[in-house]
Chain A
């Protein structure tokens, strides 16, 4: 060992390890903030936003969509909003998306975090293709479900009769009135939030939830037999198999019950 240099070497190593210590502390603090920032939340994004996980990594946080919004509905999150910092969002109860037909927010997005392609139908901008969330009704607090006449949400809805329609039902309590219950059709609801904004109950009884939470998925193992082509899906999916059995195993266990002798001898007797 090189004795004269050992002090220097020791200092060098010690300094290096000092750096490792600071680094570890910093990385842990930083990582925990990053992982918490990915906690699932109820953030509603502007029209055309891609899936939340892709959105937070693709959005460059320039805020041009917020600037482009002519009604100042979009906000840019700050560090205290518990929304991934610097990203756009809106709160329908305060201000709902007005569904501008020229879609200024998604048009100016430089990163395609707001994907204009998803808002284009036959080469034309189609804001009604937006799926920002889905209106969800609490039937215990909705005035119409209690039997009062309300119709606020359907009157506010930009796609009334499609995204929200009224279902007429007999009211058995009075036996002479009708319920006019609003029902949301997920095939049309854009999640703009005009209904939530208009709802007269103290806490809105119709609320926009992000699709990640509110949208169901039937999966592939149910077959909707009355839907054309869905049955054929099973044939496409199934693989051809062969299963070779012995003669005895082709019969059921009960049929084999009395053939003790055959089983003991290992013989199969027709």
Chain B
């Protein structure tokens, strides 16, 4: 049992953080807690530290909205955090949709739905196109286009403020990820994931691979939701960068402890 807990220490911590955040925001709405008020678009920590979603703010800018200093300060705080621990840590540690898509991926593995020959394969670069389209549509319709359909917003607001029929959207994503494309939403389409990849590129905290310890078990490839980031694994000792969501599944799964979380300085990153 202890072994199970240890082997899933990152997964369990992430679920605890995700659910704790939902609970704290929920309490902020229902019981008036002031630890975290608002939601993932914009929030206040302890009633005074502002947080704002940089991608939502960028869309609002394209929509022609006046951006206030409160929002800009919130964006600055978030960008600072992302520059330290990486933008996509949001995807695996905060985003509620991650729970849905990882459950779909787990079920997909259990049901053995990963037959290579039959798999529909989308490009992972779609998300960058979705960013471009989001900003374009924001401009044309004078509305933050992605925020209007974002399943992240729907899920989070749903838990904190009530769902309406929004849960159907989440069921659709679950089915899409389960049957159509492994990590289809989070790993291919979601523009927020793409955006966080771009702004968290030079983060200091990264998962680092040690190829001397690697025994080529390929366990990391089985569980990694963004397998492209493992391209050099087994051949070179490198920090895992790019679209890595820092979920820690590779660390848990590796039989020879070839991965660890580490602080990477700029110099070695430029070299690596």
B-binding residues in A (CB < 8 A): 19, 23, 26-27, 30-31, 33-35, 37-38, 53-54, 56-58, 60-64, 66-67, 75-81, 84-86, 108, 110-112
- B residues near A64, Cβ cutoff 8 Å: 37-38, 42-44
- CB-based contact A34/B165 at 8 Å: no
- CB-based contact B161/A60 at 8 Å: no
- A residues near B60, Cβ cutoff 8 Å: 57-58, 60, 111
Nearest CB in chain B: distance from A37 CB, A: 6
- CB-based contact B142/A57 at 8 Å: yes
Nearest CB in chain B: distance from A213 CB, A: 20
Chain B 152-192 interface 0/1 with A at a Cβ cutoff of 8 Å (1 = within): 01100110111111100100000000000000000000000
B59, closest chain A residue (CB): A57
Q: With an 8 A cutoff between CB atoms, is B50 at the interface? A: yes
Chain B, range 51-67, C-beta contacts under 8 Å to A: 52-53, 56-57, 60, 63-67
Cβ contacts A to B, 8 pairs, < 8 Å: A34-B143, A38-B143, A57-B144, A60-B41, A66-B161, A78-B158, A110-B70, A111-B60
Find A78's partner among B37, B41, B53, B165 (CB 8 Å cutoff): B165
- CB-based contact A61/B141 at 8 Å: no
Nearest CB in chain B: distance from A23 CB, A: 7
- CB-based contact A80/B143 at 8 Å: no
The 8 closest A-B pairs by CB, nearest first: A78-B164, A80-B165, A62-B42, A62-B38, A57-B63, A110-B70, A80-B164, A58-B65
- B residues near A53, Cβ cutoff 8 Å: 142
- CB-based contact B161/A38 at 8 Å: no
- A residues near B44, Cβ cutoff 8 Å: 64, 108, 110
- A residues near B68, Cβ cutoff 8 Å: 110-112
A23, closest chain B residue (CB): B129
Knowing A38-B143, A63-B157, A110-B52, say if A23 contacts B133 (CB, 8 Å).
yes
